[in-house]
Homo-oligomer: A and B are copies of this chain.
Amino acid sequence: MKIALAQLNYHIGNFEANTGKIIDTIGKAKQNGADLVVFAELCVSGYPARDFLEFKEFISLCDDAANKIAAASSGIACIIGLPTVNHKPEGKDLNNSAYFINDGKIEARVDKALLPNYDVFDEYRYFEPSTEFNCIDFKGKRIALTICEDLWNTIENPLYITRPMDSLIKQQPDVMINIAASPFAYNHDEERIAILTDNASRYKLPLFYVNQIGAQTELIFDGGSLVIDNTGKLADELPYFTEALTYYTLNDDASISFDHQSTLKTERPSDIEQIHQGLLLGIRDYFYKSGFSRATLGLSGGIDSAVVCALAAEALGAENVMAVLLPSKFSTDHSLKDAEDLVNNLGCKSETIAIRNVTDAIEGVLQPQFNNLPFNIAEENIQSRSRAIILMAMCNKFGYILLNTSNKSEAAVGYGTLYGDMCGGISVIGDVYKTQVFELARYINREREIIPENTIVKPPSAELRPDQKDTDSLPEYDVLDKILREYVENRCSSSEIIQMGYEENTVKRVIKLVNTAEHKRYQTPPILRVSPKAFGMGRRMPIVGKYLS
């Protein structure tokens, strides 16, 4: 049996585009002699369609699309994913389903049993879990078809009370197929390979696994679809962050053969390399899928905006990036110089707009209120917000999307100005700690100096008052980032983190900063997710909660 794996980029709710792409791919696979072509989980609707799923019309459009796809599948079989109506009276109204379509007919439907409902996932919000498990017979092979999380119930501390493959294996299948929509995090490829090879060796079956690629606002799908033999050995690994269509022959002895050049990796790419790739796809798809092509951002001469500018230029083309230098009276000469050097290195567009007239005017109209009160955070924020107002005016006049340049360390401790530097359509590095931003800068410079060396080596400063340094308000970033990782990602308590050897007052201060900044993070742009725990939809905190604040 010849199986094609279609690792594609879908667009949520864009039925015309998704259906067209699926039907085109079926045509190609047929031309190449495939018996079966496998698409990803919820490929028909795009994933996550979120509360669009609550619209009956949306579900019926999925059904229409499935019928079109079936009609286009004469002489070939395919597996697609879509939301379907739960026909049982009890339980949620929908299932997260896979259709097995053969020669123009929908021959079988498989519903997902294990519904992820943690971190960024809300599947139990919409779907009823399946409790019935049946294999599919096709061309002399019995297929155990499952959907993503169905293979992810671990042996130690299982999250679910059932394990679909334990039921399916009783029907003596010849092969496992798993369709997925499994989002990227820099450590996720290794976890995915470990879990899936473990399934293949546990059930002694070859496994074909198809993931999506493409970004849906904050969630980035990285592909990396897998073919694993019945001993648990990786036979093939599809490319990451790009579409692919590959073919395999499942032989009668259960071995797998293929004649393309495998992209199976001999060495895992570094975290930073993966983050770099992920962010490029995240930027590109955010613009493409919203129908925009041009970005703007404020370029300070500091490392955060420099890295975002370089990523944007690579993702969108330097000609589509407008860097705006917005010096205030506290900006240093070297900052302007560093920003100009970056613009020259990238070849992007730039404008310089001094903000002093604006901040003076604002402080002027506030003078009767502020009187002679000392300069404080109010005046600092006026600078940051003046920059935002100018950048947003550029967006409104010329059709740019503003890129937010806050990093994860700042976002965590609230070191940023709401409606100021926390503005933007999308946050590019809001899931990248400051120490990782430095690594990313070095990675971007791996072949030639793009980000000026001085931007990388100088001490970080917001330059909102004379001689300001980030370390005036925050611990050194190498300490801060480690504490943040324990608290945000590993959900350790202050006492646990202190026991690891961090200074007690620093730990308590950092955690308090994180918890009292919830109201700020609530209003920030969506953040491209590259870690296992990003701020945004995957981390949901009370705002007026009192715990550790």
Which A positions have Cβ atoms within 8 angstroms of B? 11-14, 17, 46, 48-52, 54-58, 89-93, 117-118, 122, 124-125, 157-161, 216-217, 285-286, 289-290, 351, 353-355, 357-358, 360-362, 364-366, 368-370, 373, 376-379, 381-382, 385-386, 388-390, 392-394, 396-398, 418-419, 423, 425, 491, 493-496, 519, 522-526, 537, 539-549
Contacts and interface: CB of A to CB of B under 8 A. Distances in A.
Contacts of A17: 546
Given A285-B544, A353-B366, 17 more contacts: A12-B545, A12-B546, A12-B547, A13-B546, A46-B542, A49-B545, A50-B541, A57-B494, A89-B158, A90-B161, A117-B117, A122-B540, A290-B544, A351-B368, A361-B362, A379-B393, A522-B526
B161 A393 contact: no
Contacts of A58: 547
A32 B46 CA distance: 60
Contact of A125 (B56, B117, B397): B117
User: 7 nearest interchain CB pairs?
Assistant: A13-B547, A57-B493, A361-B361, A14-B546, A378-B396, A289-B544, A12-B545
Nearest to A156: B89
A221 to B, nearest CB: 13
Contacts of A539: 51
B51 A540 contact: yes
19 contacts: A12-B547, A14-B545, A46-B545, A49-B545, A51-B540, A52-B541, A92-B159, A117-B124, A125-B540, A217-B543, A289-B546, A351-B368, A355-B365, A385-B388, A385-B389, A389-B419, A418-B423, A419-B423, A537-B540
Contacts of A393: 362, 366, 370, 378-379, 381-382
Contacts of A354: 365
Nearest to A381: B396
B160 A91 contact: yes
A358 to B, nearest CB: 5
Nearest to A322: B369
A122 B121 CA distance: 11
Contacts of A11: 544-546
Contacts of A549: 13
Contacts of A388: 385, 419
A366 to B, nearest CB: 6
A495 B157 CA distance: 48
Nearest to A419: B419
A379 B397 CA distance: 9
A504 to B, nearest CB: 15
Contacts of A55: 491, 493, 547
A390 B366 contact: yes
Contacts of A290: 519, 543-544
A17 to B, nearest CB: 7
Contacts of A542: 12-13, 46, 48-50, 52, 216-217
Given A55-B493, A361-B361, A543 B526 contact: yes
A328 to B, nearest CB: 12
A362 B358 contact: yes
